[in-house]
A and B are shown apart, each in its own frame.
Chain A
Amino acid sequence: MRQSGLHFCCVAHLGIVARSRLREPRLMVKIKFIEHSGQEHDVETNPGASVMVAAVSNGVPGIDADCGGACSCATCHVYVDQEWLERTGEINPTEEAMLSLSTDRKDNSRLSCQIQVTEDLDGLVVTMPEFQF
């Protein structure tokens, strides 16, 4: 009797979850990573993690991420296409400190571990530098 009660609660819970999922469909975000050579990699990823994680977990070459995303190595450096740059958000002070020491820094440089993937960034295009350093 307790068992079937528990079973009923589980089913009811699943029902609630299923209904809320139907109400809010999750959009996969598309990101285009372009290697220095011009080779393109199109990735689809869930919002929430960083652009760096999207690259690394999809085997995109050219992003090293030596520190694993802690904004402390500057080896996840990317150039963000101008039309997307503002939408990636503000550079935080720690990121700025690391980027300011980079030998290949440009106006559209970002550390990809500091760009959070949101639905706003669906279609984002970034290019990797020739070297990570």
Chain B
Amino acid sequence: MTDASADQSKWSMVGKDPWTMPIEKIDLSHPGIWQANEFLPFMERLRLEDPVHYCAESAVGPYWSITKYKDIMQVDTSPEIFSSEPTIGIVDTYDEYTLPSFISMDPPKHDEQRRIAQPVVAPANLKRLEHLIRQRVCNILDELPLETEFDWVKEVSIELTTQMLATLFDFPFESRHKLTFWSDAATAIPGAGVVSSNEERWAAMEECLQVFTGLWNERVNAEPGNDLVSMLAHGEATQNMPPMEYLGNIILLIVGGNDTTRNSISGGVLALNENPAEYDKLRADRSIIPNMVSEIIRWQTPLAYMRRTALVDTELGGKQIKAGDKVVMWYASGNRDSEVIDRADEFLIDRDKARQHLSFGFGLHRCMGNRLAEMQLRILWEEIMQRFDMVEVVGQPERVYSSFVKGYTHLPVRLHGLS
């Protein structure tokens, strides 16, 4: 696969030797090594030799890479030092494209907004959704062809998560593909296959705002419902929110629930294929599924990083971080830190303490949708195991061109039924 745009290729790390190149030149931010699946040794070297690493020059400017589990925890649980404002992405946002949402806010505003949105994905509500989710999973799986090659990403990972999102928003079911498009557009690098420019991306965001404003106007005058739009329209802290903030929170919830779950669905299939002894364990004992779900999420780490900005001068791992510095927590690296996670570079579906991983983050911003994601994956694997002896990967996976969204654009598979 080629780079998305020619002027970024000088920054690409693809082809460089992670162990012999000058360590100060290591730049994890460039999407090249992520798409090429070559990122692991670069992160390993940083963990070993320079765990709090300053990258002085990159396509996104200078930034710190935090690669060890304990240091990442330290940053994640210190919001008074490491702010989530103005953005949690590595690219510094420009004003006209800024979409405020509580993921990129600090307390107290963060807390006010999160409290409103949280109930829609709280386990009590999920219990009510379980039946519907299972129905959707069964419908999708029952339509899949046996002994025929198809793209798991398109037919299962994307389709299932899109249907889930439509349910959460009570979005018109037949237009649900727009949720996927808007979500992908929100995080895509222009030129990587979703939108070709920032202008095109902004046009997509405008359309999203229009449609959701329509839904808001419908629901604000109706009885409060269990869907996300209704909760925002009726919530005391959110009912007067400015349109850009509303759009930001909608996008947050769509994005949060979209490619992350999608890529865990794909990632689990790939991991089991790459580790056949683990697939054997699963076949022998389906009660391992909940534990396996956590291990899949660790293994995949669907969002490779989260970014913070230092509010004050501070020390971390012996290095001096200055106020204003960009600090990047590489969850994908912390999740492979063998100092904290036993046999971290092995995919083990029955491991102890499987829930103790960084993929959802920790602290105030810990992923609000974590139980929903786990529930979807659990139900999916329960139903897969009822139907197929194997979901076999039959070709090379293709990965997303991004150092943030860690996932798959294509995964060719063939299904084998139970004998």
A71 to B364, CA, bound (A): 10
Partner of A97, one of B107, B356, B371: B107
A100 to B118, CA, bound (A): 12
Find out whether the CB atom of A72 lies under 8 angstroms from the CB atom of B114. Answer: no
B203 interface residue (CB < 8 Å to A)? no
- Report B-chain residues with C-beta under 8 Å of the C-beta of A70: 73, 77, 362
**Contacts of A43-78 to chain B: CB distance below 8 A:** 64-68, 70-74
- Report A-chain residues with C-beta under 8 Å of the C-beta of B122: 103, 131, 133
Who on chain B is nearest to A68 by CB?
B356
Find out whether the CB atom of A100 lies under 8 angstroms from the CB atom of B355. Answer: no
A94 interface residue (CB < 8 Å to B)? yes
With both chains docked as a complex, state the minimum distance between the C-beta of B398 and any C-beta of chain A, in angstroms.
32
A101 interface residue (CB < 8 Å to B)? yes
With both chains docked as a complex, state the minimum distance between the C-beta of B287 and any C-beta of chain A, in angstroms.
14
Partner of B123, one of A72, A97, A131: A131
A98 interface residue (CB < 8 Å to B)? yes
- Report A-chain residues with C-beta under 8 Å of the C-beta of B124: 103, 130-131
Find out whether the CB atom of A64 lies under 8 angstroms from the CB atom of B366. Answer: no
Partner of A103, one of B118, B353, B355: B118
- Report A-chain residues with C-beta under 8 Å of the C-beta of B274: none
- Report B-chain residues with C-beta under 8 Å of the C-beta of A130: 123-124
With both chains docked as a complex, state the minimum distance between the C-beta of A56 and any C-beta of chain B, in angstroms.
9
Partner of A67, one of B115, B118, B123, B356: B356
Who on chain A is nearest to B74 by CB?
A70
A133 to B375, CA, bound (A): 12
Partner of A64, one of B115, B355, B364: B355
- Report A-chain residues with C-beta under 8 Å of the C-beta of B356: 66-68
Find out whether the CB atom of A72 lies under 8 angstroms from the CB atom of B363. Answer: yes
Residue with the greatest number of chain B CB neighbours at <10 A, chosen from A68, A130, A132: A68
- Report B-chain residues with C-beta under 8 Å of the C-beta of A64: 355
With both chains docked as a complex, state the minimum distance between the C-beta of B370 and any C-beta of chain A, in angstroms.
8
Who on chain A is nearest to B340 by CB?
A68
B259 interface residue (CB < 8 Å to A)? no
Question: A70-B77, A103-B118 in contact; A97/B355 too (CB < 8 A)?
Answer: no
Q: Chain B, 226-244, contact with A by CB distance < 8 Å: what is the 0/1 string?
A: 0000000000000000000
**Contacts of A67-123 to chain B: CB distance below 8 A:** 67-68, 70-74, 94, 97-98, 100-101, 103
With both chains docked as a complex, state the minimum distance between the C-beta of A35 and any C-beta of chain B, in angstroms.
15
Who on chain A is nearest to B73 by CB?
A70
A94 to B364, CA, bound (A): 9
With both chains docked as a complex, state the minimum distance between the C-beta of B54 and any C-beta of chain A, in angstroms.
26
- Report A-chain residues with C-beta under 8 Å of the C-beta of B123: 130-133
Who on chain A is nearest to B114 by CB?
A101
- Report B-chain residues with C-beta under 8 Å of the C-beta of A131: 122-124, 371
Who on chain A is nearest to B79 by CB?
A97
Q: Chain B, 106-129, contact with A by CB distance < 8 Å: what is the 0/1 string?
A: 010001001100110011100000
A68 to B114, CA, bound (A): 24
A75 to B114, CA, bound (A): 17
A65 to B76, CA, bound (A): 17
With both chains docked as a complex, state the minimum distance between the C-beta of A20 and any C-beta of chain B, in angstroms.
35
With both chains docked as a complex, state the minimum distance between the C-beta of A109 and any C-beta of chain B, in angstroms.
15
Find out whether the CB atom of B362 lies under 8 angstroms from the CB atom of A72. Answer: yes
Who on chain A is nearest to B127 by CB?
A131
Find out whether the CB atom of B77 lies under 8 angstroms from the CB atom of A94. Answer: yes
A72 to B366, CA, bound (A): 8
- Report B-chain residues with C-beta under 8 Å of the C-beta of A67: 73, 356, 362
Find out whether the CB atom of A72 lies under 8 angstroms from the CB atom of B371. Answer: no
A64 to B353, CA, bound (A): 9
**Contacts of B350-382 to chain A: CB distance below 8 A:** 353, 355-356, 360, 362-364, 366, 371
With both chains docked as a complex, state the minimum distance between the C-beta of B191 and any C-beta of chain A, in angstroms.
37
A39 to B363, CA, bound (A): 30
- Report A-chain residues with C-beta under 8 Å of the C-beta of B73: 67, 70, 72
Question: A103-B124, A130-B124 in contact; A98/B353 too (CB < 8 A)?
Answer: no
A101 to B76, CA, bound (A): 16
- Report B-chain residues with C-beta under 8 Å of the C-beta of A94: 77
Find out whether the CB atom of B118 lies under 8 angstroms from the CB atom of A68. Answer: no
- Report A-chain residues with C-beta under 8 Å of the C-beta of B362: 66-67, 70, 72-73
A132 to B123, CA, bound (A): 8
Partner of B115, one of A74, A101, A132: A101
Extra 18 A-B pairs, beta carbons < 8 Å, given A72-B77, A97-B107: A66-B355, A66-B356, A66-B360, A66-B362, A67-B362, A68-B356, A70-B362, A72-B76, A72-B362, A73-B362, A73-B366, A97-B364, A98-B363, A101-B115, A103-B118, A131-B123, A132-B123, A133-B123
* Subset of 5 A-B contacts with CB under 8 Å: A66-B355, A67-B73, A72-B73, A97-B107, A101-B364
A interface vs B, CB < 8 Å?
64-68, 70-74, 94, 97-98, 100-101, 103, 130-133
